[in-house]
Chain A
Amino acid sequence: MRGIKILERVLGTIPIMFGVAIIVFFFIRLTPGDPVDIMMGQGGSISAGELENLREEFHLNEPLHIQLWYFLRDAAQGDLGYSYVLKQPVTALIGERLPATIELALGALIFSLLVAFPIGVISAVRQNSWLDRLSMSTAFLGISMPGFWLGIILILLFSVQLHWLPVQGRIKLGTGLEQHTGYFVLDSILTGNMEALKSSLLHLVLPSVTLGAPVAAVIARVLRSSMLETLRSDYVTLARSKGVAEWWVVIKHALRNAMIPTVTVVGLQVGILLGGNMVIETVFGWPGLGRMVVKAIFDRDFPLIQGAVMIYAFTFVMANLIVDVMYTYLNPRIRLG
């Protein structure tokens, strides 16, 4: 049963992916003007003959639905077009920048989970204590705060005033890190380069905190409210009446059930992580996908923007697929019908 449900969900993402690609395909229609000119962006001047060749190459003389068909076919094969500004295939450009972005997103996700879970649980167990009030006020601040502003405040505080943490980039110059995977933390562990490890971790702190803070705030709030509900439930009383120790009642019986609604919210928050990514990478000069896209927007490098938006959407869909599977695993009522 479980296998079938999961398979169903995996297959269900395929039409969504195609739909996403279709919507992104129509993005180019939002811009008035000749598609070739638009696609070329500020890629330089070319002759009329070359322009005609490009038209052929992009099937721009064909009707719209044929163009769409080629676009989808290429996308399905992993070909997201060609950036005339950077003179490289979009897939290669994205692949190059992706590790940096994933490293940051994972850092932020880990930070937010590490912060949100203890806070959510303790706030619920000690409802209305000063700790609860303090953390929930902070969480409220967290959901009302623009991420880029928090980043600037943190830079001012920890880099400019205290000199604890670096301001910009992924790693200090001159650590001599050999790159294998593109994930600097992983690379420095693989090559045993302690200096690089320390530097790359230190560089990760502020961006991860900035990107993760609003996510942590939302998760903590949801977890707290669902914990309050499960802690009041009859099965928690039953567990106590069996003689289960209080902390184990909280972790095993209450938290386990409070995870079910929380996991859904974590999935939605991945969207915030991805969206915030562009902004936060700009704030911290983090050489990832987000900063590349922002630059591409000013260069009017439209194929690159299309490709990147598609990748972000795919990642979001995949994240929600994982969440769905976890949800199915956590909730036997869904799993077994």
Chain B
Amino acid sequence: MEANQNVRSPLEDQLYIWRIRLEIWWQNFRNFVKALSVHPLALAGGILVILYLLSAVFADQITVHNPIQGNLRIRHMPPAWEDGGSWEYPLGTDSQGRDLFTRIVYGSRISLSVGILSVGISVIVGILLGTLAGYFGGRFDSFVSRLADLLLAFPFLIFAIGVMAFLGPGFTNLILALTFKGWVEFFRLVRGEMLAEKTKEYVEAARVTGQGHVAIMLKEILPNIIQSVFVLGTLRMGYMIITEASLSFLGLGLPPNIPAWGSMVAAGRDSLLVAWWVSTLPGLAILFLVMAINLFGEGLRDILDPRLKLEG
């Protein structure tokens, strides 16, 4: 080692590069956390989302009742703070005598996994197609862009309902229905950014130094786009969850006995006059989750990418 101190092995070079990268990431992460701490609403949203995630993961530990099997003798029991309520069933029971709190906790599994999976797949498909289309252009680009334009001609919920109608209910079908159109926005974002980035000097420099296309796309350009994608993904997740809830509400989402918030609201409508809580409380769970995600997402946008303007 001492003999040739100035000559480093390729492995050492790689280690050195990765050490620098890790330091930069760590620094970025710390800056992000610092920025988040001056955004109290975004922080609150983030914490609430984490609470939801925890309750979804540890649903078995949090709840004591069976979410599917009820006891008809205790049906329509009001929440604990109302007359006739009991802390055994803190949010009351539904028309089949199932504990509402248990069902809401289990419902978070559906909403969160649908939200995360549908956005995740949309992001992956969008990045893949958007990168290729934006970087290479040509016929592939014009084909995918046309397809994206066509899909944009459908209102999101209508398209999802139409697809679900033909696919039939089920978890996989739900994810499919949401991603069939969900990738379009990410595709457009990535493609647009790609077109803008690829003419910049640093890409030119990378090309001159002899890097391959894949290396340029993955190592040079993508890191500059990924923040915008992340922000858009967070903001879309709330909308995906609302869409899933709407589909479940219409009975087009999952099979009826699975506790999804949307179908719980729908089921409670029949007993609205005698048991208001059955319908309204699961809806409140949706509202809080989506609000938390949106608060976090908008904070994220302010911190990471203020010029990204998204509505709808």
Contacts and interface: CB of A to CB of B under 8 A. Distances in A.
Interface of A: 16, 19-20, 22-24, 27-28, 30-31, 140-141, 143-149, 152-153, 155-156, 160, 218, 221-222, 265, 268-272, 274-276, 278-279, 282-283, 293-294, 296-298, 302, 305-306, 309, 312-313, 316-317
B150 A19 contact: yes
A140 B308 CA distance: 18
Contacts of B272: 152, 155-156, 160
Nearest to A17: B153
Interface string B262-282: 100110110011001001100
Interface of A is mostly: helix
Contact-residue bracket for chain B: 35 or more
B153 A156 contact: no
A279 B251 CA distance: 11
A20 B162 CA distance: 12
A146 B156 contact: no
Contact of B312 (A20, A268, A274): A268
14 contacts: A19-B146, A24-B162, A27-B165, A31-B168, A144-B291, A146-B265, A148-B246, A149-B286, A265-B311, A278-B250, A297-B250, A298-B251, A312-B155, A316-B153
B166 A31 contact: yes
B217 interface: no
The 10 closest A-B pairs by CB, nearest first: A275-B157, A149-B283, A271-B155, A19-B150, A144-B291, A309-B162, A30-B166, A144-B290, A275-B155, A297-B165
Contact of B280 (A152, A272, A278): A152
Given A27-B166, A152-B279, A16 B312 contact: no
Given A156-B276, A218-B311, A316-B158, 7 more contacts: A141-B287, A145-B290, A146-B290, A156-B280, A271-B155, A272-B155, A312-B154
Contacts, number: 150
Contacts of B226: none
B149 interface: yes
A268 B269 CA distance: 30
A146 B262 contact: yes
Contact of B153 (A16, A141, A144, A221): A16
B312 A309 contact: no
Contacts of B249: 146, 148, 279, 282
A30 B280 contact: no
A147 B266 CA distance: 12
A267 B273 CA distance: 38
Contacts of B273: 160
A297 B167 CA distance: 11
Contacts of B251: 294, 298
B297 to A, nearest CB: 11
B44 to A, nearest CB: 13
A146 B282 CA distance: 11
